[in-house]
Chains A and B, each alone.
Chain A
Amino acid sequence: QKEVEQDPGPLSVPEGAIVSLNCTYSNSAFQYFMWYRQYSRKGPELLMYTYSSGNKEDGRFTAQVDKSSKYISLFIRDSQPSDSATYLCAMSADRGSTLGRLYFGRGTQLTVWP
């Protein structure tokens, strides 16, 4: 079983739709959760990060973590064509040591059409 599972899509939605992107994981020690956005032929950029369970909102984006279900989500409200990209989830367990491993999902390709 992979550490992090993410449906690769592709996901295609009309402009203005609410988008839900999800990842599941198997390691109950994960406590740091991140979402990256990657435009075509570019490096991933950090979009949001959360610690432990709960929600975090930033503009049109909401990250949600449910540690009991080992499930994380990213919601995009009022989606725009500029949101078209691949979204990668990432997570890690370690904070105390010098270098902690970051585990990535394979990414979900999202297209928002006007």
Chain B
Amino acid sequence: KQEVTQIPAALSVPEGENLVLNCSFTDSAIYNLQWFRQDPGKGLTSLLLIQSSQREQTSGRLNASLDKSSGRSTLYIAASQPGDSATYLCAVGTGANNLFFGTGTRLTVIP
């Protein structure tokens, strides 16, 4: 069964700092990997989708990488802003048509 782990569970950084969030998964037989953002009491916003054949995806200040063989993905956030404060979720898509989620990293960017 697929297990997804996110480290660290919480992270606090000063504004302007670059940061990396980590995601690991146990079964490398995945279709894709998706990073989401969740604000308190709100839904999930899709940030980046990486297909299993891809190594990375970029959107603005965000860059996500995927190393399927080692079961790892990272989300890099450049020049962090207070508005980036949220919980970031990593989810692995499998052929079983559902997503396996990590428990998230709660990010706080201090002005």
Query: Do A and B truly interact?
Result: no
Binding site for A on B (CB under 8 A): none
